[in-house]
A and B are shown apart, each in its own frame.
Chain A
Amino acid sequence: MTISVKLDRVLLDRGMSLTELSERVGVTIANLSILKTGKAKAIRFSTLEAICKELNCQPGDILFFDDEDAVVEAAE
């Protein structure tokens, strides 16, 4: 997946635990773990909105796009 989630870094900056975020956002820890470990295939706008609201950040602060193919092409 070329989209990566860097939730742990923002959580560290805000000094918030995953459990606390889970309670505030209303998403189960299991689902937040899926998001954090990069296993998630999709994220609902409502979830993203809630996370951004609680962490006081932009979607771009937690979602990153790494074009793996482009990196490989550049190396070749």
Chain B
Amino acid sequence: MTAPTADTPHAAQGAGDRSVAVLIKVLRYTRIALVFVLFTVLGTAARLPFFPLRFGGDPADPEARWPTVHIGAAVDPDMTAAAIYTQSAVEVILIAAGFFIISEMLQLLRNVAGGHAFIRENGARLRRMGYAGVVAQLSIYAVWIVSRTVDAAGVAAVDGLTVEISPAPWIIILCAFALSTVFNDAAALKEEQDLTV
């Protein structure tokens, strides 16, 4: 995708320019924070097999399994190892999706700051963000199904797993797809305008 050949790109001015710059900074730090969150999640899952050995506790006793001092992410003492593994897996997917969405958003904002708001690339970015959101949502639903799965005796397949599902993210995802269409239409208009002499 080549940049439009406008004589003077419609760069964001004044307050808008500043708010975009601030948003870019915030998103950059959020992306860095996400990497640390990923490490705590992986750390929690990775140290799990060693816990009963290291602390010499009874694996059946939740208190022994989970000492009160946590190095990584806070873990509910009632959670079983299977529940923690399942939750860690979905958290890794969510962090990956979040990282991807923030990266796309960053590049989109950089384009906006550079005066190229309405280009097809930005429409494609918003659509990809929407798809990443769908993947994140589906992973949550998958864990929700696992948390609801019981065997014939009524014992949960993965004990101690609690998942909350909300319709709110779907509205945001829908907005991303709608905005993608808007950006594509705007890009078409902009292209036409740029190529009018």
Contacts and interface: CB of A to CB of B under 8 A. Distances in A.
| A and B form one complex | yes
A43 B196 contact: yes
A28 B7 contact: yes
Contacts of A28: 7
B192 A31 contact: no
Identify whether the interface residues of B are mostly helix, strand, loop, or mixed: loop
Interface string A25-45: 001101110110001111110
B10 to A, nearest CB: 16
Question: What bracket does the count of chain A residues touching chain B fall in?
Answer: 10 to 19
Contacts of A43: 196-197
A47 interface: yes
Interface in B139-197: 191-192, 195-197
Contacts, number: 28
A40 B196 CA distance: 6
Contacts of A27: 197
Interface in A7-56: 27-28, 30-32, 34-35, 39-44, 47
Contact of A32 (B5, B196, B197): B197
A40 B197 CA distance: 7
Nearest to A44: B196
B196 A41 contact: yes
Nearest to A28: B7
Contacts of A39: 195
B192 A42 contact: yes
A13 B84 CA distance: 81
B15 to A, nearest CB: 29
Contacts of B191: 41
Interface string B3-37: 00101000000000000000000000000000000
23 contacts: A27-B197, A28-B7, A30-B5, A30-B7, A31-B7, A31-B197, A32-B197, A34-B5, A34-B197, A35-B197, A40-B195, A40-B196, A41-B191, A41-B195, A41-B196, A42-B192, A42-B195, A42-B196, A42-B197, A43-B196, A44-B196, A44-B197, A47-B197
Given A39-B195, A41-B196, A42-B192, 5 more contacts: A30-B5, A40-B195, A40-B197, A42-B197, A43-B197
Interface of A: 27-28, 30-32, 34-35, 39-44, 47
